[in-house]
């Protein structure tokens, strides 16, 4: 994958990740034109088992034609993943690893596709959560992502109740930060057309330290991006904080104490507003 290529995006700052079933090549171009930072061509749950061979052929052809995308591949240890990786050989894509549960799961993928492979590790189980720190630190991992629907099903909780997966989300944020990664990518909002809910879900995830969201339809992309974008008031505050940075040490901005950690947060807000990685 070209890190800054169209519809492939730079994984270090990408906010919106749009899934497209690999068996629907008629949707690939529309997804690439949707405004999503990253298009995720799906070879896993979004494709019926009977269509996976066809999907692999179509995804490989799309990439071979010079188009950019991340490819969601099946879990390590499955026959489907073996077939996925065989189909992708020579295309050098970034991959989203479904059901990541250990650093070894990641290493099995990068050993096959090559050491330069970029990986988005999708955590969808309790085992994956408990191994999140090691997964995030594994060579090749660029972002962590939450598979909220699968995880909620495994835990027997409602994925639409924000309190049920609060601990899980916090664990991914901590694991990402400890590994020096950009904040993780939040899971899907299953209500396709509820724009306000999508925006609200994204805003909630952003408040927890997430920096992106998985989308399942082009109509979700703009609302998700809006939910992660800093508000005008936040940007104005951040600019005032950074402007006083030359003073050094602790100082007051808007009547509140500001020191180095607050300035770091202000710079993060400005970088997100300008859609670029944090330096």
DSSP string, 190-246: S-TT-HHHHHHHHHHHHHHT--EEEESSHHHHHHHHHHHSPPHHHHHHHHHHHHTGG
- The answer on whether 254 is annotated among ligand-binding residues is no
- The answer on whether 124 is annotated among ligand-binding residues is yes
Between CA 92 and CA 78 the distance in angstroms is 21
Between CA 271 and CA 27 the distance in angstroms is 32
Q: Alpha carbon 110 to chain centroid distance?
A: 18
Between CA 11 and CA 212 the distance in angstroms is 10
Contact 258, 251 (CB under 8 A): yes
Contact 169, 208 (CB under 8 A): yes
Q: Write out the binding residues for substrate.
A: 72, 124
Q: Write out the binding residues for Mg(2+).
A: 124, 150
Q: Write out the binding residues.
A: 72, 124, 150
């Amino acid at each position: 994958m070209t890190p800054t290529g169209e519809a492939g995006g730079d994984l270090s700052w990408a906010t919106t990740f749009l899934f497209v079933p690999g068996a629907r090549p008629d949707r690939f171009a529309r997804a690439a034109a949707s405004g999503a930072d990253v298009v995720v061509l799906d070879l896993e749950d979004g494709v019926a088992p009977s269509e996976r061979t066809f999907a692999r052929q179509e995804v490989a052809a799309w990439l071979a034609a010079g188009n950019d995308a991340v490819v969601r591949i099946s879990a390590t240890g499955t026959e489907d993943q073996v077939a996925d990786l065989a189909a992708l050989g020579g295309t050098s894509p970034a991959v989203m690893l479904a059901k990541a549960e250990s650093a070894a799961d990641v290493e099995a993928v990068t050993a096959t596709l090559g050491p330069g492979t970029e990986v988005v590790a999708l955590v969808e189980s309790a085992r994956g959560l408990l191994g999140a720190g090691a997964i995030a630190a594994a060579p090749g991992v660029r972002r962590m992502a939450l598979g909220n629907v699968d995880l909620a099903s495994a835990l027997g909780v409602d994925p639409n109740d924000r309190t049920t997966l609060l601990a899980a989300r916090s664990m991914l944020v901590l694991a990402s930060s400890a590994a020096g990664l950009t904040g993780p990518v939040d899971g899907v909002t299953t209500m396709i057309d509820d724009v306000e809910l999508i925006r609200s879900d994204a805003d909630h995830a952003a408040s927890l330290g997430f920096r992106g969201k998985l989308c399942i339809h082009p109509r979700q992309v703009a609302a998700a991006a809006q939910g992660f974008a800093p508000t005008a008031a936040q940007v104005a505050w951040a600019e005032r904080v950074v402007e006083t940075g030359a003073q050094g040490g602790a100082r007051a901005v808007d009547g509140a104490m500001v020191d180095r950690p607050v300035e770091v947060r202000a710079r993060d807000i400005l970088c997100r507003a300008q859609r670029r990685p944090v330096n």
